[in-house]
Amino acid sequence: MNQNPQNLKICYIGGGSRNWAWVFMRDLTYERELGGTIYLYDIDTEAARANEIIGNRLMEEHNRGQWKFRAEPSLERALEGADFVLISILPGDFSEMAVDVHEPERYGIYQSVGDTTGPGGLMRALRTIPQYQRLAQAIKQAAPDAWVLNYTNPMTLCTQTLYAEFPEIKAFGCCHEVFGTQKLLIKIMEKYGWVPKGTVHRKEIHTNVMGINHFTWIDRASWKHQDLFPLYQQFAREYAETGFDEGGDDNWMNNFFASCERVKIDLFNRFGLIAAAGDRHLAEFCPPRWYLESPEQVRYWKFTLTPVSFRIQQREELKKKSRAYQEGKETMPVHHSGEEGIRQMKALLGLGDLLTNVNLPNRGQMPDLPLGAVVETNAFFSRDSVQPVITKGLPAEIRTLVLHHLTQYQGILEAARERNLEKAYRVFLNDYQIQKLSPQDARELFTSMTTKTLPSLGEDWGGYR
């Protein structure tokens, strides 16, 4: 590892991002122990150049210039000798994502996110895996010793692809969904008078995490050695029908990313473990008749189907913000996101140990799931080391659901690496949501989705070039 934490090289793939890249920039303004140069690589070179200007201005204002941002149009030069590589990309564009999410609606299939599982997640994976194959090979050639932090969905398959292409890679997937559940536990403690409002930080909530990304489960949760499961059980009984709504304008009816936690509560009442992701993600991993049979059923469970039109509108607003930041007409507000990427890097540099949840190949930390499959558990970070925490595994009734998705992931990974559309279709046919269709309708949907999304990437997909 780099012996000088003030002279790091970080390669940010997807460096033109107006989401995760900006989050990372803002978090860096609080960091005083690290410094160096961040190389921003993006297929949209102008977006990367915009972030170079924005990032450097932000560092000059808030960080004494410890970090320099540099847009780099060459992936190889951006990677060469990097200490850390961050990846947050959108595979394709929102036009492809609109197909992922909305094309299945013509067949009565509804998705609340559409980027991890279900027909949308599987189609997104077919676009993403070839890109991650190339990224893995580029990292192998230019930065084989770098630590790689992946933020792209589908998280499990992106991380799995990196290891399939470059088994010695030092990569892990980062997701904040568990953080939201830890924050919910604090709200429950406040609700029942255990602690005054605003006095407990998320880091004080200790949870044992296990499962796969966006379908993670907690079998132990505590605060200062006090077991939180009895409290959560009381909460789940009280709010099973109404859901937990704090009120205000930012509720599930006004915010596409909010919910009343009814799916999470229902899963706890079914299985006895705390489902540790947002309701929109959790619902997609379950048989569709549970939560996603219709828009009316979604409203009953008090979460939302996020339309891609909203994401497109949000992108246009962020483009305007980017121009205003570049021209100095507006100043980017600074606040810490609560993400742990920088803390993870510091731990890997030997600047303090860290225990947190990450996605890694299964080397026994999930003894009931296939070895090598990417799973999400806690892991211990120390100098140049990430060691997953061993769990006792999931109850059989939850493991059955998880194994279905891991099997789907393995099939879609094989199909994508072989560029075999027929094999991909066979996997697609076994998806929980697709099983409600006749084989003829499933074939029509698959053909429509692949025809509309794969050719734009220029991949050799069974005749698509």
CA dihedral 224, 228, 230, 235 (to 10 degrees): 130
Tokens 């299964």 belong to residue: 362
pLDDT of residue 465: 27
pLDDT of residue 245: 85
* Tens-digit pLDDT profile for residues 219-262: 999 999 999 999 999 999 999 999 998 766 678 888 888 899 99
The low-confidence residues of the chain, meaning pLDDT below 70, are 1, 247-249, 456-465
Residue 43, C-beta contacts closer than 8 angstroms, at least 6 positions apart: none
Do residues 431 and 292 make contact, with C-beta atoms less than 8 angstroms apart? Answer: no
pLDDT of residue 63: 78
pLDDT of residue 304: 95
pLDDT of residue 463: 38
Residue 230, C-beta contacts closer than 8 angstroms, at least 6 positions apart: none
- Which has the closest alpha carbon to 431: 257, 284, 270? 284
Beta-bridge mates of residue 147: 84, 170
By percentage, how much of the chain surpasses pLDDT 70? 97
pLDDT of residue 461: 64
pLDDT of residue 456: 62
Residue 75, C-beta contacts closer than 8 angstroms, at least 6 positions apart: 13, 41, 138
CA–CA gap between residue 219 and residue 96 (Å, rounded): 37
Beta-bridge mates of residue 381: 354, 386
Q: Which residue type does 212 have?
A: I
By percentage, how much of the chain surpasses pLDDT 90? 90
Tokens 């540790």 belong to residue: 276
pLDDT of residue 464: 35
Query: Is the link from the previous residue into 361 a cis peptide, with omega within 30 of 0?
Result: no
Ramachandran quadrant class, 188 (left: phi over 0; alpha: psi -120 to 50; beta: rest): alpha
Catalytic residues: 176
CA dihedral 443, 449, 455, 457 (to 10 degrees): -130
